[in-house]
Amino acid sequence: MKRFLLPLLAALTLGAGGAVTFGGLNVTPRGPQKLNLQTGATELPQGGTATDARTGLRLSAGRMELQPGERLTAREATVTTRQGGTLRAQSVAYDLRSGTVTASGGVTYTDARLRDLRADRLVLHVKTGFVSALGAVQSQTPPLSAAALAFDASTSQAVLAGPYRVSTGGLQAGPGGRLLLVFGGNRLLRVTPNPDAVTVTRFAPYLK
């Protein structure tokens, strides 16, 4: 066992500061790496940068832990997406199998359509391009608040779950209400209360 572990630890030590690959992620540590012999996870106490070339996701954090091929957790993290979104949070977990990035603690998200979006919890669905903001949702642009928001980057559409309030048109609704937001370029073009069943069904998995 010792003969197996010592070369592995030596390789990790020699790789400190240089780019290494963990389960499809290209990781550049800021300092030394530590192998947790109980969990098999690699810890980066000084953080670093991780890039997923398959999805275009890039994560920079003050502290990181990687379970190769399974999960990356990070503290004081900034995440950028292929679609141009930037997510900042105190705690981030990237589930490599499900393709989801879950953020909590001081969460903010900004892209070309949504600026300074805040929520208790935010999930980036890397495989589908959806963004889910859940719990105490607020956005500076467009000015709104809601129980939950789901944004589809591929169609530039978002759905709010009530209770919600939107400054545009002075719209509001209680629990159970739904509101469709349609963007054109960087601008909000229109809002539609009680969208059709097809739209509600498409967004429903991302509003919970």
Question: Is pLDDT above 50 for 80?
Answer: yes
pTM for this prediction: 0.88
Q: Which two tokens stand for residue 160?
A: 């709010």
- What is the C-alpha to C-alpha distance for residues 15 and 43, in angstroms, rounded to an integer? 13
Q: What DSSP designation does 106 have?
A: E
What pLDDT was estimated at residue 88? 98
Q: What number is the average pLDDT over the span 162-171? A: 86
What pLDDT was estimated at residue 97? 92
Sign of torsion, CA 155 126 47 116? positive
pLDDT digits (tens, 9 = 90+) for 12-28: 443 555 678 877 899 99
Question: Is pLDDT above 70 for 10?
Answer: no
pLDDT digits (tens, 9 = 90+) for 111-135: 999 999 999 999 999 999 999 999 9
pLDDT digits (tens, 9 = 90+) for 49-78: 999 989 999 999 999 999 988 999 999 999
Q: What number is the average pLDDT over the span 181-207? A: 95
What per-residue string of b and e applies to 25-38 under the rule 16 or more CB within 10 Å gives b? bebebbeebbeeee
Q: What number is the average pLDDT over the span 126-152? A: 96
| Domain architecture of the chain: domains with CATH | 2-207 (2.60.450.10)
What pLDDT was estimated at residue 16? 53
What pLDDT was estimated at residue 38? 81
Confidence at 168, pLDDT banded by 50, 70, 90 = confident
Q: What DSSP designation does 142 have?
A: T
Question: Is pLDDT above 70 for 4?
Answer: no
What pLDDT was estimated at residue 22? 78
- Contact 142/128 with Cβ under 8 angstroms? no
Q: What DSSP designation does 115 have?
A: B
- Residue 136 has φ and ψ, to the nearest 5°, of 50, 50
